[in-house]
Amino acid sequence: MNPLASMLLRTSRAEPSRVLLRTESGEVWTYETLEAVSGRMAHALQGLGIAPGDRVAVRAPKSAGLIALHVACARVGAVYLPLNPAYTAGEVAGLLEDAEPALVVRGDVLDDDAIAGPWSVVGLGAIAEGTPGEDEPFEDVARSADDPAAMLYTSGTTGRPKGAVLSHGNLVFSAETLTSAWGFTKDDVLLHMLPLFHTHGLFVAAHCVIASGASMVLLDAFDPAAVIAALPRSTVVMGVPTHYVRLLADPAFGSEVTQGVRLFTSGSAPMLVTTHDEFRASTGQVILERYGMTETCMLTSNPLDGPRRPGTVGLPLPGVEVRLSDGDPGGIEVRGPNVLAGYWRRPELRSTEFTDDGWFITGDLGRFDADGYLEIVGRSKDLIISGGLNVVPKEIEEVLDSLEGVLESAVVGRPDLDFGEVVVAVIVAEPGMTPEPEALRSLARERLAGYKVPKQVLIVDELPRNALGKVEKARLRDLVAQVERGR
């Protein structure tokens, strides 16, 4: 038995001729294609010496082949480790050093020194093509629900990224729960405009489609024109608040192109109530907002049938427990079959990321309304979510502090209509030096992925600190807000 492979290949073996996906370039995959390509890849992985439990890292642009590679890893029992193609060489090298993968799969257009190391490296195209004899049926390797199936690095709340290890059971439970909660059927067509290196795009969007035997329109990336063109043939759309803000700004978007869509969902970052209101006025539909994390997949959701309340992330999903620690608001803690058992080679985090009685500490603050809907009111830790992607202030601060002319820095998030939050850096210059904000941004861009680069740099005489010398981020956010209002 292989829980994840069995779920991912269920339709391939029952109705192989059903269409799984269509790409922007006109490529069409049936479920039979998924089984065949993933089988060739699985043979190739075994031929490269990949054994159950080995990490297989991949850094490649979005494509149907990435989905097949994920399925192939499940079939051989390997741990699938997707990396953001936008990461710099230094960022990739650090993650690979920590993960120690047995194999790195690169996109055929990506060829840099970042992936060099003691591991094997192969192109995604080469694995997909396979070798003679690899079209033979592949016998899936037996795995249990507790065996690891994927590992995603999450910035968390420290400067050192953490490898969240998700099991077969975690992923199967999450997919089956969501397909039921959101009413997925084989007649659905998902408009897939999310990245595949992220939980949202892979373990929510793609898994909901595959687990239900539905199909998807696989866009290379989010582009308003491409999304609007594909909407009339779609029934479900999943996005982040930034996507909906940009769609609303396009004159071609409205009820005419959305009337065939039965469900719009949003997550990965909080959505402003004003965006909810504008969307309803434009389309006549209410976005379903939900809440999840890399470590847990989905936790809560506004109901498919029932009131969807803007400003809340809905009710706990079936089988998932959510509680608040002391206070109003309180710290959000969760447990359930969707929650990871731990982090890669970080056993010490068991005592800091979990309570003594085994609940996972999300780091978010929330409150329940009278009907049990959860409202997230902030974060107990200083994680920034920009465009649905996690940004750790400490990581950026370390880069900025190393630049000439910078004595010290502090990074905070600033509310933004488009991205939810944007990164703002507050800098104290070295005595006698006057660093140029745009020059600092340019230097930071050489070492950080684009979404981590500060959108604004402010120069101050000193950082606000409390009696113990700790920088007070709340006061910094107030300062940033004052500057923004004075523009």
Q: What is the pLDDT of residues 275-310, one digit of tens each?
A: 899 999 999 999 999 999 999 999 999 999 999 999
Domain presence at residue 118: yes
Same domain, 389 and 333: no
Same domain, 18 and 127: yes
The mean pLDDT of 87-97, rounded to a whole number, is 89
Domain boundary among 305, 335, 368: 368
pLDDT at residue 486, rounded to an integer: 74
Q: What is the dihedral of CA 40, 43, 47, 48, to 10 degrees?
A: 70
Domain presence at residue 375: no
Cis peptide before 347 (omega within 30 of 0): no
Same domain, 285 and 250: yes
Q: What confidence tens digit (pLDDT) does each residue in 361-382 have?
A: 998 888 999 999 999 876 776 7
Domain boundary among 309, 336, 368: 368
Domain presence at residue 423: yes
Domain presence at residue 282: yes
pLDDT at residue 97, rounded to an integer: 93
Same domain, 364 and 390: no
Neighbours of 133 (CB within 10 A): 9
Same domain, 89 and 150: yes
Domain presence at residue 206: yes
Q: What confidence tens digit (pLDDT) does each residue in 425-464 have?
A: 999 998 999 999 999 999 999 999 999 999 999 999 998 8
In this predicted structure, the answer to whether residue 23 has a pLDDT above a threshold of 50 is yes
pLDDT at residue 157, rounded to an integer: 43
Q: What is the dihedral of CA 369, 339, 180, 2, to 10 degrees?
A: 180
Same domain, 356 and 461: no
Mean pLDDT over each residue of the chain, to the nearest integer? 92
Report the sign of the C-alpha dihedral through residues 368, 373, 374, 377, in that order. Answer: negative
Q: Give how far Cα 332 sits from Cα of 236, 326, 379, Å.
A: 29, 10, 10
Confidence band, pLDDT 50/70/90 cuts, at residue 133: low
Confidence band, pLDDT 50/70/90 cuts, at residue 469: low
Confidence band, pLDDT 50/70/90 cuts, at residue 398: confident
Count up the domains in the chain and report the number.
2
For the ranges 145-159, 175-189, 260-274, 364-378, which has the lowest average pLDDT? 145-159
Q: What confidence tens digit (pLDDT) does each residue in 139-165 have?
A: 999 999 999 999 999 864 445 789 999
The mean pLDDT of 380-386, rounded to a whole number, is 79
pLDDT at residue 13, rounded to an integer: 95
Classify burial at 356, counting beta carbons within 10 Å of its beta carbon; exposed 0-12, middle 13-18, buried 19 or more.
exposed
The answer to whether the CB of 436 falls within 8 A of the CB of 459 is no
Q: Which residues span the domain enclosing 148?
A: 3-368
- Residue 137 is part of a domain; what is its CATH number? 3.40.50.12780
Classify burial at 298, counting beta carbons within 10 Å of its beta carbon; exposed 0-12, middle 13-18, buried 19 or more.
buried
Of all residues in the chain, what percent carry a pLDDT higher than 70? 94
For the ranges 214-228, 332-346, 379-393, 446-460, which has the lowest average pLDDT? 379-393
The mean pLDDT of 241-252, rounded to a whole number, is 93
pLDDT at residue 111, rounded to an integer: 60
Domain boundary among 320, 341, 368: 368
* Both tokens assigned to 65: 């082949």
Domain presence at residue 289: yes
Of all residues in the chain, what percent carry a pLDDT higher than 90? 74
Same domain, 419 and 324: no
Same domain, 287 and 429: no
Confidence band, pLDDT 50/70/90 cuts, at residue 328: confident
- Give the pairing of strands 288-293 and 297-301: antiparallel
Domain presence at residue 135: yes
Same domain, 161 and 276: yes
Domain presence at residue 177: yes
Same domain, 299 and 405: no
Confidence band, pLDDT 50/70/90 cuts, at residue 241: confident
Q: Give how far Cα 239 sits from Cα of 214, 306, 471, Å.
A: 18, 21, 34
Same domain, 279 and 394: no
Same domain, 477 and 356: no
Q: Residue 283: which H helix or E strand, with range?
A: helix 273-283
- Residue 477 is part of a domain; what is its CATH number? 3.30.300.30
